[in-house]
Chain A
Amino acid sequence: MTEAGPTPPAVETRGLERIYRIKPRPVTALAGVDVRVEPGEFFGLLGPNGAGKTTLIKILTTLLLPTSGSARVFGFDVVSETKQIRRIMNMVAGGEQSGYGILTTREQLWMFSQFYGLGTREGWRRVDELVELVGLTEQREQRVSTLSTGQRQKLNVARGLLNDPWILFLDEPTLGLDVGAARAVRELMTAWRAAVPGRTILLTTHYMAEADELCERIAIVDRGRILAIGTPAELKRRVQRESIFRLEVDRLAAGARALAPLPGVVSAVPASEADTGREAAGRGTVAITLVLRDDAALGGVVGALGELGARIVALRKSEPTLEDVFVELVGRGFEDEAEGDGARPPMPGAEPAAPGPSHTTHPHEPGEPSDEPLAT
């Protein structure tokens, strides 16, 4: 094969599907994903638990086969050209436990450097550079088993950079890190990518703010499908036409969903922890993210609150966040999965009203018990 022409996309998937054949029912983790990531992009996959993010990363890192559809990494096919992909990528997952506790930080990194194709002495030099870069100099001779969670994650990041990958897959890399450590990891990732044109990062996260800060483009994923792709600004513009309010009331027995049926209300969900939810909880109040068709609908909501016996503690109009985009797209908040949502219900466990196959069930799987008649 000749290498003429421009570099192929860093990631390109077409109709990518992945079904896990497990008991009691097969799970559709990816239900037809089409995504294209350009070389050099910092690309984010944003979605709630179980959306299929890790599954997509596993397919791209050659650890999992697609059930149907295709996926390529820099033009290499994930099914048949695994070796090529493995030479130019690396991956780091949040909470990753790897290596051997008996080794020191340096030794463990050196071991991995040998797996990634570095020379014997070159490996030690590279390890020393990276140990310093990620800030583990003090722990360099410490046993891996004694590292703290944050130090451990720095070690994992250093491992991910050992082979100068062209594409780095980061699966919730800041999971469980404190604010300072998470920021350090984010800054490092940004600097690392910028150091060489063409270096690509594909990041998954639950943290909206993280995706917003780091990613040039974001795909919002839910139930194995991509709901929207765009720059953070583009995505937010989608909800700009609606008015978003942060509402805080002293109490509301029926919860946020009591407001959803009111005229002019697009959605009403509890504010996320990251937003104002945590402070509200501290004050013993209820924080709600309210999306209205237009500002005029606010009067009705205020009136209804009075009837419900709730007093408004604070009310402010806000710029849309990625979370609002998510709520708009999915019809439920990011963190109230189990609760469902008054506005547009897919109730958990039930077949969704929305078109397309279900996320968790696949009722007509041959050989699998199904309580639905096969004729439908």
Chain B
Amino acid sequence: MNALVHRQTAGPREAARWNRGRILANNLRSVAGRAYPRIAGLAREPSWVFFEILLPFLTTSSFVFVYRALAAPPEYVGFVVLGGAMSAFWINVIWMMAAQLYWERDQGNLELYFAAPMDLMSVLFGMAIGGLVMSSTRGAVVLVIATLLYGVTFSVAQWALLLAVFVLTLAALYGLGMVLASLFLMWGREAWHLTQLLQEPVYFVSGLNFPVGRLGFLGAMAIATLPLAVGLDAMRQLAFAGSAVTLGTPTPEVEALILVAMTIVFLVAARFALRTLERLARREGRLVTRWR
């Protein structure tokens, strides 16, 4: 074979027939293919990463100082540090995942992605994984530095559950991001501005910087709807086992189940939103086209 003929197929009808294995492989590779630019970009623009880490770290630090000045229970410092680390993922979901398809359209990629054989869900997964790698570095750095600097002591009794809750929190968070990505493309900039506006209130009800149980009914609502709130609460209960301040919310086991439910709901919704998006785009002749 040469450059003009790479894979010789018997004919167009045969070439269009892919078995399940081929379809699966195509989608898995598409995930990796889309994650690649994210990860390559991370290595190529290190200065940007610096700011991404420094800014949330400063926010976290300011809360630490406030709690110390107020002589709050020592666990609070740990809570804030954990919240600061997890905020990396939330910021990534809101600022990048949600605006992703919008941005891809302006890059001129979206039509090509629609016209390629893979499922667009795979591209979204790829973006999520790329974003995850990026945010994980950030979250880990904040966690390690703040823990050492402010002398946080963790007491973990159930490591496996903690890990599971962490993974589930990310799954639910990025699932939500995948839903938002399609919604933003359909509703345009207004939706994006709305989320920016909601960022601080969401931080607040998620209990990023204090235990969400303190919020009473509002906290309960947050636990039922916001992956960050429920995930963070469960992780705090697990990372600071036996601490009295985490009382007033469901057990971590229950919260893990809530996260599982959220993940499923968000992934189904994301798929549905993508289908709707594609249908609308093909019917209206815009949405996915650059400049329209």
Contacts from A to B (Cβ < 8 Å): 3, 7-8, 10, 18, 20-21, 39, 55, 58, 61-65, 74-76, 83-91, 96-100, 102-103, 107, 110-120, 123, 126, 129-130, 132-133, 164, 166-167, 191-192, 195-196, 198
The reply to whether B3 and A132 contact each other, CB–CB distance below 8 Å, is: yes
Decide yes or no whether B20 CB sits under 8 A from chain A.
no
Given A63-B111, A63-B114, A99-B107, the answer on whether A164 and B9 have CB atoms closer than 8 Å is yes
Task: Please give the distance in Å from B28's CB to the nearest CB on chain A.
Answer: 9
Are B5 and A195 in contact, CB atoms less than 8 angstroms apart? yes
Binding-face segment, B167-175, B207-215, B243-251, B283-291: B283-291
- Which residue of chain A has its CB nearest to the CB of B22? A117
In residues 64-123 of chain B, which contact A (Cβ within 8 Å)?
107-109, 111-118, 123
The answer to whether B3 and A84 touch across the interface, beta carbons within 8 angstroms, is no
CA distance A62 to B111 in the complex (A): 10
Contact B34–A111 (Cβ < 8 Å): yes
Q: Are A98 and B116 in contact (CB under 8 A)?
A: no
Give chain B nearest CB distance to A22 CB in angstroms: 8
Q: Which of B10-18, B181-189, B233-241 contacts A (4 or more CB under 8 A)?
A: B10-18
Q: Is the CB of B118 within 8 A of A76?
A: no
What would 24 A/B residue contacts be, using CB atoms closer than 8 Å? Answer: A8-B13, A18-B285, A86-B115, A87-B16, A88-B15, A97-B290, A98-B112, A102-B45, A103-B40, A107-B36, A110-B33, A115-B30, A115-B34, A117-B18, A117-B118, A119-B25, A119-B29, A120-B29, A164-B8, A191-B4, A192-B4, A195-B5, A196-B5, A198-B11
C-alpha gap A315/B8 in the complex (Å): 53
User: B33 near A167 (CB under 8 angstroms)?
Assistant: no
Q: Once bound together, how far apart are the Cα atoms of A237 and B103, in whole Å?
A: 50
Q: Which residue of A lies closest to B118 (CB)?
A: A115
Q: Is the CB–CB distance between A126 and B109 below 8 Å?
A: no
Complex interface: chain A residues within 8 A of B14 (CB): 3
Q: With A63-B115, A110-B33, A114-B32 as given contacts, are A7 and B13 in contact (CB-CB < 8 Å)?
A: yes
Number of interface residues of B (CB under 8 A): 49
Cα(A122)–Cα(B285), bound, Å: 35
- Asked whether B4 lies within 8 Å of A86 as measured between CB atoms, the reply is no
Does B6 contact A111, Cβ atoms closer than 8 Å? no
> Distance in Å from the Cβ of A256 to the closest Cβ of chain B?
35
Give bound CA distance, A166 to B6, whole Å.
12
Question: From B288, which residue of chain A is reached at the shortest CB distance?
Answer: A63
CA distance A338 to B158 in the complex (A): 76
Q: Is B13 within 8 A of A75, CB to CB? A: yes
Q: Is the CB of B6 within 8 A of A114?
A: no
Q: Does B37 contact A (CB under 8 A)?
A: yes
Write out the residue numbers on chain B whose beta carbons fall within 8 Å of the beta carbon of A191: 4
In the assembled complex, the CB of B280 is this many whole angstroms from the nearest CB of chain A, namely 10
Most central of B2, B15, B17 by chain A CB within 10 Å: B15
Contact with A along B125-157 (1 / 0, CB 8 A): 000000000000000000000000000000000
Q: Mark B183-221, 1 if CB is under 8 A from A, else 0.
A: 000000000000000000000000000000000000000
Q: Is the CB of A117 within 8 A of B117?
A: yes
Which one of A63, A103, A196 lies within 8 Å of B8 (CB-CB)?
A196
A74 with B12: CB separation less than 8 A:
yes
Most A Cβ at <10 Å: residue of B12, B284, B285: B12
B33 touches A115 (CB 8 A): yes
Contact pick for B116, options A110, A116, A119, CB 8 Å: A116
In the complex, which residues of chain A have a beta carbon less than 8 angstroms from the beta carbon of B12?
Answer: 7, 10, 39, 74, 88, 166-167, 198
In the complex, what residue of chain A is closest to B29 when comparing beta carbons?
A: A114
- Enumerate chain B residues within 8 angstroms of A58, measured Cβ to Cβ: 285
A162: nearest residue on chain B (CB-CB)? Answer: B6
Q: Can you list the 7 inter-chain pairs with the closest CB atoms, starting with the nearest?
A: A114-B33, A166-B12, A84-B16, A133-B3, A195-B4, A129-B3, A74-B12
Report whether B117 and A116 are in contact in the complex, using a CB–CB cutoff of 8 Å: yes
Closest Cβ of chain A: how far from B173's Cβ, in Å? Answer: 24
- A74 vs B283: C-alpha distance in the bound complex, in angstroms? 23
Q: Hey, which chain A residues are within 8 Å of B123, CB to CB?
A: 115
- Please indicate the chain A residues that have their CB under 8 angstroms from the CB of B32 in the complex: 114, 120
| Residue pair A87, B34 in contact (C-beta under 8 Å) | no
Task: State in angstroms the CA–CA spacing of A97 and B107 once bound together.
Answer: 7
Chain A residue nearest in CB terms to B112 = A98
**Per a CB cutoff under 8 Å, which of B5, B116, B290 touches A164?**
B5
Closest to A117 in B: B26
Question: Which A residues are CB-close (under 8 A) to B3?
Answer: 129-130, 132-133
Whether the pair A115, B117 counts as a contact (CB closer than 8 A) is: yes
A111 touches B285 (CB 8 A): no
Cβ–Cβ contact A74 & B16, under 8 A:
yes
B37 touches A103 (CB 8 A): yes
Residues of B within 8 A of A96 (CB): 108
B122 CB, nearest partner CB in chain A, Å: 8
Residues of B within 8 Å of A21, CB to CB, are 284
What distance in Å separates the Cβ of A16 from its nearest Cβ neighbour in chain B? 14
Give the CA-CA distance A196 to B116 in the complex, in Å. 22
Task: Take A86-B117, A100-B41 as given contacts and tell me if A166 and B4 are in contact as well, using a CB distance cutoff of 8 Å.
Answer: no
On whether A99 and B13 interact (CB within 8 A), knowing A195-B5, A196-B5, the answer reads no
B contact residues around A167 at 8 Å (CB) = 12
User: In the complex, which residues of chain B have a beta carbon less than 8 angstroms from the beta carbon of A10?
Assistant: 12
Instruction: Given A20-B285, A63-B111, A133-B4, verify A85-B16 contact (CB < 8 Å).
Output: yes
CB nearest neighbor in B for A196: B5
In the complex, the answer to whether A3 meets B117 with C-beta atoms within 8 Å is no
- CB B14 to nearest CB in A, in angstroms, measures 7
How far is A24 from B116 in the complex, measured between Cα atoms in Å? 33
Check A111–B44 contact: CB distance below 8 A: no
A65 x B117 contact (CB < 8 A): no
Q: How far is the CA of A164 from the CA of B3 in the complex (A)?
A: 10
